[in-house]
Amino acid sequence: MEIVRGLNLVKVPIPDNPLGYLNCYVVAGKDGCLMVDTGWNTNEALTALREGLQELGLSVTDIATIVLTHVHPDHFGLAGKLKQLSPHTKILAHHWESALIDSRYIKFTDLQRKMGVLLRRHGVPDVEVPGLETASMPAIEFVTITMPDETLYGGEVLDTGLFNLEVIWTPGHSPGHICLYEPQNRLLLAGDHILPKITSNVSYHVQSGDNPLGDYLYALQKLQKLSVTKVLPAHEHVFDDLPGRIAEIMTHHDNRKEEMRGFIREKPLVAYEIASRVSWDIQGITWEQLPTYMQRVAVCETIAHLEYMRWEGTVTRIDENALYLYRAV
């Protein structure tokens, strides 16, 4: 699908996943194109990507550069495969994302162990820890590992000869998440930072930093004044109203914070308990019926909100019998 002349969207399927598709953007260049995000490493995804390129008169070896908004499997999974098929392609990612690859995809047992310790401290019952600790592991098989050729810090301008793309560091969903701004047509390639319908997952975990929701909300504010006519997200659909969507997301997090604070006015609770009471948008499914992976996301999102409020000074944390209990101030 053509967004503007020379900048196209290729839908790459993510099998068995509610997101459905990864939006891969192909930006024309003088010496080959620039691709933003790749999709998971499955045959189905690679075929879709190849067909999408073919419709633009391109093949895999015409990709001069791949820019990764972040290294989650649905964005990064196929990058290694593409690099094998086209060794001259340069892969770019933020330095924080580069730093995550080894611990996430290669020597991941240490990360799992640390995640287990973290989940226990936040009140996840012992019997549930092993399931929750390894909940993100199945995604690993959809990744062909490769290391970026160059790392980004934010502020760089990537020049394809036909388009300029400014790198904007937007941590929160992942520590080194980046967006790309195209000033000529005023396009924002938003990755998972801003999606039109679902709110981007912002979780507290071993590698998230101390206040990922704070990072995220600051990075949202940073984009509020940007002159944008179209937002090109990594999932769902292209949309227009950036400031409107940012305001909605901010309200969503404010409401969620208040809801959580409401549970801990009378007595302190662990994050696991708080998470089980939140009115998640899970269509009639009870907390107990929620798949392990979703429970883990819920717990880690809850911690992110609680830690944000701790930073604001509206919630305190008590360390008791190797558990963290939160209480409203």
Residues that bind Zn ion (CB under 5 A): 74, 192
Residue 235 CB, nearest approach to Zn ion (Å): 6
Give Cβ neighbours of residue 3 (< 8 Å, ≥ 6 apart). Answer: 9, 25, 187, 230, 232, 238
Residue 200 CB, nearest approach to Zn ion (Å): 9
Q: Which is nearer to Zn ion, 53 or 68 (CB)?
A: 68
Q: Which is nearer to Zn ion, 192 or 307 (CB)?
A: 192
Q: Which is nearer to Zn ion, 21 or 263 (CB)?
A: 21
Residue 19 CB, nearest approach to Zn ion (Å): 7
CB atoms within 10 A of CB 65: 21
Q: Which is nearer to Zn ion, 12 or 260 (CB)?
A: 12
Look up residue 23 and give its DSSP letter: E
- Alpha carbons 207 and 304: distance in angstroms, whole number: 12
Residue 69 CB, nearest approach to Zn ion (Å): 8
Q: Which is nearer to Zn ion, 74 or 307 (CB)?
A: 74
Residue 190 CB, nearest approach to Zn ion (Å): 11
- CB crowding 256-268: b at 16 or more within 10 Å, else e: bbeebbebbeeeb
> What are the strands, taking DSSP E only, across the chain?
2-4, 7-13, 21-27, 33-36, 63-67, 90-94, 150-152, 157-159, 164-169, 178-182, 187-191, 230-233, 315-320, 323-328
Q: Which is nearer to Zn ion, 97 or 192 (CB)?
A: 192
Residue 121 CB, nearest approach to Zn ion (Å): 28
First-to-last alpha carbon distance for the chain, in angstroms, is 51
- Alpha carbons 72 and 40: distance in angstroms, whole number: 9
Residue 30 CB, nearest approach to Zn ion (Å): 30
- CB crowding 85-98: b at 16 or more within 10 Å, else e: ebeebebbbbebbb
| DSSP of 188-199 | EEEETTS-SSSP
Q: Which is nearer to Zn ion, 74 or 301 (CB)?
A: 74
Give Cβ neighbours of residue 114 (< 8 Å, ≥ 6 apart). Answer: 206
